[in-house]
């Protein structure tokens, strides 16, 4: 049977308009927020697990590639249908099925936008902490499939720490449930975790039961300047060694601050060559007493020009500055290659020395900011998009950066995943036996390689 007839046949097994073949819909499902694009042959917009199961059973039988798509806000081309076939979008599976503070759980469909889960939790005094910067746009299914993280993960952990159970449709259409709504569960292997971070290669997540925690009563923040990045990084150590566990420890370097001064006006940006945002949360009285303690510890460790804030609105003013860093870099007119590398925290000072040298040696700016508390720094290589020479140079810079990161015991991605963007560096990120194990797991669950083919495995 030719390909169009196959899709018409599939279409007849599903409710009307579930399978789309028009060019506009295909084009809208070709890429994410990274460069790569590839047109699918069909887009599937199921509304239920049953429909996902029908699609996968049909695809497996007919050897059709299926690439799951959440909100398409990925940064590594993960949902790009690299081998064509079906782009299976979860956009219409977007309901919060249960919000249950008594059990401390929410049950959600995969297409729910992450922020709306936290908003719904907040309405009943509860909290869903994992907060990728994209959380107002990305889906919970995508967050689970990439094990997304954000600033608050320093204190609260990343997405995997909040997934208690899942419903998954396997490559052959089988529907399985892992875990459940219990906060502890040691029945069999930890299969829930196997699917977290699996980037759409092992199955389609059709429902998740996620852990909620009581919402902290308030938060407090300090915005601090430092003379050097090394001083700021050392202060991060001093804060944690001093027995404080902030809810966020966000660092930005001089290049980022300069871009922000240009974009927002120098009066809006603190002085100094490095910037640290420290946030704590908890009961009012605890935050009120801890904040001055932290301030004096930070001053002793070289921090100056310190602004302090307590309460949602005041803290948001400080966060607004942090939130503008990415936009400030974009406003330079250069193209930002955002690498979400991670190093063991003790290597932060060396990392900043290394990125300064990388910049000097290659004459291409490198801007660093990010989650210093867990060693997850966004290293942004700022290239002139039009110049081929710069693209070649930036690839060489990435080779050097990633090799060094691995040498330090770090990881080439802490948040975004491997997808297509980091595929060239997968062989240095995972040794041969680990790569073999990935292949074995993949072929046990998806022997015909129909799920998200063309990616890193």
Ligand X SMILES: Cc1cc2nc3c(=O)[nH]c(=O)nc-3n(C[C@H](O)[C@H](O)[C@H](O)COP(=O)(O)OP(=O)(O)OC[C@H]3O[C@@H](n4cnc5c(N)ncnc54)[C@H](O)[C@@H]3O)c2cc1C
Residues of this chain that bind ligand X (CB under 6 A): 32-33, 67-75, 78-79, 90, 110, 132-134, 138-139, 141-143, 145-146, 148-150, 199-200, 204-205, 415-416, 452
Identify which of residues 43 and 291 has a Cβ nearer to ligand X in the complex.
43
Residues paired with residue 341 on neighbouring β-strands, in sequence order: 377
Q: Please tell me the chain's helix, strand, coil percentages from 3-state DSSP, rounded to the nearest 5.
A: 40, 25, 35
Residues paired with residue 105 on neighbouring β-strands, in sequence order: 100, 211
Identify which of residues 114 and 295 has a Cβ nearer to ligand X in the complex.
114
**Residue 148 CB, nearest approach to ligand X (Å):** 3
Identify which of residues 18 and 359 has a Cβ nearer to ligand X in the complex.
18
* Burial of 273 from C-beta contacts in 10 A (0-12 / 13-18 / 19+): middle
Among candidate residues 429, 377, 394, 451, the one with its CA nearest the CA of residue 154: 377
**Residue 413 CB, nearest approach to ligand X (Å):** 9
**Residue 416 CB, nearest approach to ligand X (Å):** 5
Tell me the C-alpha distance between 318 and 308, whole Å: 9
Tell me the C-alpha distance between 264 and 202, whole Å: 44
Dihedral Cα 352, 358, 361, 366, nearest 10 deg: -90
**Residue 132 CB, nearest approach to ligand X (Å):** 3
**Residue 89 CB, nearest approach to ligand X (Å):** 8
**Residue 363 CB, nearest approach to ligand X (Å):** 27
**Residue 383 CB, nearest approach to ligand X (Å):** 18
Tell me the C-alpha distance between 322 and 316, whole Å: 10
Identify which of residues 136 and 400 has a Cβ nearer to ligand X in the complex.
136
Give residue for tokens 């062989």.
427
Identify which of residues 149 and 270 has a Cβ nearer to ligand X in the complex.
149
Vertex 279: Cα angle to 274 and 280 (nearest 5): 150
Identify which of residues 146 and 218 has a Cβ nearer to ligand X in the complex.
146
Tell me the C-alpha distance between 105 and 249, whole Å: 27
Give the containing element (helix H, strand E) for 376: strand 376-383
Identify which of residues 72 and 216 has a Cβ nearer to ligand X in the complex.
72
Identify which of residues 163 and 204 has a Cβ nearer to ligand X in the complex.
204
CB closest to ligand X, residue no: 142
**Residue 67 CB, nearest approach to ligand X (Å):** 6
Contact residues for 390 (Cβ-Cβ < 8 A; gap 6+)? 364, 383, 384
């Amino acid at each position: 049977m030719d390909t169009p007839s196959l899709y018409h046949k599939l279409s007849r097994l599903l409710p009307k308009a579930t399978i789309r073949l028009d060019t506009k819909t295909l084009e809208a499902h070709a890429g994410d927020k990274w460069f790569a694009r590839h047109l699918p042959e069909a887009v599937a917009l199921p509304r239920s697990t049953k429909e996902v199961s029908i699609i996968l059973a049909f695809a497996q039988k007919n050897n059709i590639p299926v690439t799951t798509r959440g909100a398409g806000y990925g940064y590594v081309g993960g949902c790009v249908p690299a081998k064509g076939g079906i782009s299976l979008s979860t956009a219409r599976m977007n309901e919060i099925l249960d919000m249950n503070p008594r059990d401390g759980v929410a049950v959600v469909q995969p297409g729910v936008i992450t922020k709306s889960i936290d908003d719904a939790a907040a309405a009943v005094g509860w909290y869903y902490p994992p907060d990728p910067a994209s959380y107002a746009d990305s889906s919970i299914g995508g967050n689970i499939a990439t094990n997304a993280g954000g600033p608050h993960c320093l204190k609260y952990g990343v997405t995997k720490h909040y997934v208690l159970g899942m419903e998954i449709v396997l490559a052959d259409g089988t529907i399985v449930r892992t875990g459940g709504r219990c906060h502890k569960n040691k029945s069999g292997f930890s299969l829930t975790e196997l699917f977290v971070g699996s980037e759409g290669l092992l199955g389609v997540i059709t429902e998740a039961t996620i852990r909620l925690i009581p919402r902290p009563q308030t938060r407090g923040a300090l915005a601090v300047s430092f003379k050097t990045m090394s001083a700021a990084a050392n202060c991060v150590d001093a804060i944690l060694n001093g027995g404080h566990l902030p809810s966020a420890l966000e660092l930005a370097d001089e290049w980022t601050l300069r871009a922000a001064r240009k974009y927002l006006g120098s009066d809006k940006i603190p002085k100094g060559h490095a910037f640290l945002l420290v946030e704590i949360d908890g009961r009012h009285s605890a935050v009120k007493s801890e904040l001055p303690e932290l301030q004096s510890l930070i001053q002793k460790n070289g921090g100056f020009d310190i602004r302090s804030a307590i309460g949602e609105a005041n803290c948001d003013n400080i966060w607004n500055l942090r939130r503008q860093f990415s936009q400030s870099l974009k406003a330079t007119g250069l193209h930002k290659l955002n690498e979400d590398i991670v190093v063991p925290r003790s290597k932060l000072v060396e990392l900043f020395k290394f990125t300064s040298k990388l910049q000097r040696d290659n004459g291409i700016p490198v801007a660093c900011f990010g989650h210093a508390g867990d060693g997850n720094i966004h290293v942004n290589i700022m290239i002139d998009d039009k110049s081929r020479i710069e693209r070649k140079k930036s690839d060489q810079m990435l080779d050097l950066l990633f090799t060094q990161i691995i040498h330090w015991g770090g990881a080439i991605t802490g948040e975004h995943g491997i997808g297509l963007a980091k595929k060239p560096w997968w062989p240095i990120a995972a040794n041969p036996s680990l790569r073999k194990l990935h292949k074995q797991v993949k072929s046990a669950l998806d022997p015909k390689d129909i799920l998200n083919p063309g990616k890193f495995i």
